[in-house]
Amino acid sequence: MNRAEVLIRFLVPSDPCYLSVVRATVGELAAVCGLREQECRAMTLAVDEAMANVIRHAYRGDPAHAIEVECEGRADRLNFTLLDQGAAPDMARLQPHPLDDWSLSGRGTHLIRSAMDEVHYERVPRGNQLRLSKLLPAPARAGKKEGL
């Protein structure tokens, strides 16, 4: 593996109590890859919202399933891939839509799209795959910590 690349894989139960574990890793990885504090929080929020969507919608709140999460740091981008074997998402929910001040739902997808440069859903043989990508600006790439 190139020393500028890193790949972290999780296989976590679809139980909300594990969300904080993945959040901690995503935030730290984004920081190591040179993103600013605010961007690290945005990355963390986006991946967390995507996992919450899987738990709520694909698995309908059942904590007995599995979610595969892959966090990949590359020279020019961060990729986060989620894979689940639950119900396929409502594609309309994944599309950008205007926010309603008083609506209690629909903000998660907006937060994901706000933080990420690319959001791509695909039905694959192993289930539902959501890939989130954040392009790293040149100064962030140059500012990567030594030793990776």
Partner 1 sequence: MNTAIRNFGAATVVDITGHIDLGSSPALRKAMLECLKGTDRMAANLAGVKYIDSSGIASLLEVLKEARKSKKKFVLFGLTAGVREVLQLTRLTGVFEIFESEDGALGSALSHGSSCP
Which residues, 33 to 92, sit near partner 1 by CB under 8 A?
Answer: 37-38, 41-42, 44-45, 48-49, 52, 55-56
Interacting residues of 79 by C-beta distance below 8 A, sequence separation 6+:
70, 71, 72, 131, 132, 133
Count the residues of the shown chain that bind partner 1, applying the rule CB under 8 A: 27
* Distance, CA of 13 to CA of 11 (rounded, Å): 7
Q: Is 17 in the site for partner 1 (CB under 8 A)?
A: yes
Q: How far is the CB of 108 from partner 1 (least distance, A)?
A: 4
- Tally the C-alpha atoms within 13 A of residue 110's C-alpha that lie toward its C-beta: 10
Can you give the length of the chain in residues?
148
Q: Judged by CB, which is closer to partner 1: 18, or 121? A: 18
Q: How far is the CB of 10 from partner 1 (least distance, A)?
A: 16
Q: Coil, helix or strand for 44?
A: helix
Q: Judged by CB, which is closer to partner 1: 42, or 140? A: 42
